[in-house]
Amino acid sequence: MTGNNKQKKVESSDDNFLASILKEIIEFKGWELIFQGLMYAFLAWAIYNLKIIYDFHTSPDWEKVPKHSIYDFKLSLIMVAVFVGYKAACQRIFFNIMKKRIDPTKFPTEEERNARAKHSCIWVGNIIYYTFSTLCAFFLFRDQDFFPKELGGNAEAVAMYEGLPYRRDYPHAKLFYMIQFGCHLHTLIDYCVYKWRAPKFWEMFLHHCLAVFLIFFSYLTNNLRVGILVLFVHDPCDVFLCVNRVIGDMKNPSQIVKYANYVMFVVGWVFFRLYAFPKCIVGSAFSYYMAHDMGYLTSPMLFLMLMLSCLVILHSYWFIFILRILVNMLRGKKNYNSYDTGAKGKKVEHKS
């Protein structure tokens, strides 16, 4: 018995040590300032690169290089309107269903339950969309010559950069890209309109801007293959994330489903965002960049690489929250989601 007690004390001490470290990192007051500084730096560099990309598309020196047209983004503007309608439709279809399942102990007033039900409708819509986009990306492009073996394809990871800046066309790639750009542009606009006073505004604003920048600049520099894979490795985790948010607000949720979904979320995050994304996409980009002279497109290529690297940093930063939530769940805390509730326990709304 004495030995068991000592072991329990050691395990408890380890849990407290890990929890204290995670708490110190999470509650660091300078994160928002860091994210704001990064946003300004990327915006300034984006403006500089626009001139280079404009010359790439209009200069006689590059006229023999096939390029994607900026006018293709007209479809994305239409898709922004489509996603506005899709969001409204999800709220109309799922609102009553979700409201009946909201936990009244967490949201005791009618106003709180209505507000949370609306967010749940958005998450249900995201679950449907991200599941569909993940399946589309996998089955449309897995047999193409750029889809790496690590993600279920047959190619080497570096193949996605070969032949640049010359364009390669793939069936359905342009349509897939424009739909995804419309989704991310809608998310950015929606976030700026409704969340500009959010406590963690700059964190998510940086993420949404990076997504829009990456899709826009990669398309105009013929990096379509890279963009497709970046989108593919992000969407599966968003499915589990939204499921976790919906389950977290439900009354009497199945504990088996809740923990199983969270385990799949953690495994997916580690594999897709902390392994496949840095290794296959970002690592291969740096390897290709170091081995090849990109000439006139050196700055845009480096810009894309550093934006991808910034996403890796954000993924690692969010993984700290994921670990803390896991620790809280294992310790039996009811309000285990420290990211949504914030350091002082106040509810903070976020969208995937």
Confidence bin at 344 (pLDDT 50/70/90): very low
- Beta-bridge mates of residue 250: 102
Q: Which helix (H) or strand (E) holds 10?
A: helix 2-26
Question: How is 160-203 classified by DSSP, letter by letter?
Answer: GGTTTTS----TTHHHHHHHHHHHHHHHHHHHHHH-TT-TTHHH
Confidence bin at 350 (pLDDT 50/70/90): very low
Q: Find the range with the poorest average confidence among 26-35, 67-76, 159-168, 270-279.
A: 26-35
pLDDT at 196: 84
Query: Residue 332 above 80 pLDDT?
Result: no
**pLDDT above 90: percentage of residues in the chain:** 64
Please state the rounded mean pLDDT for residues 19-48.
Answer: 83
Confidence bin at 30 (pLDDT 50/70/90): confident
Which is more confidently placed, 221 or 25?
221
Quickly tell me which residue has 């739909």 as its tokens. Answer: 179
Q: Are 300 and 249 in contact (CB under 8 A)?
A: no
**pTM for this predicted structure:** 0.86
Q: What is the pLDDT of residues 189-236, one digit of tens each?
A: 999 998 888 888 999 999 999 999 999 999 999 999 999 999 999 999
pLDDT at 24: 67
Helices and strands (H and E) in the chain: how many: 11, 0
Which is more confidently placed, 42 or 24?
42
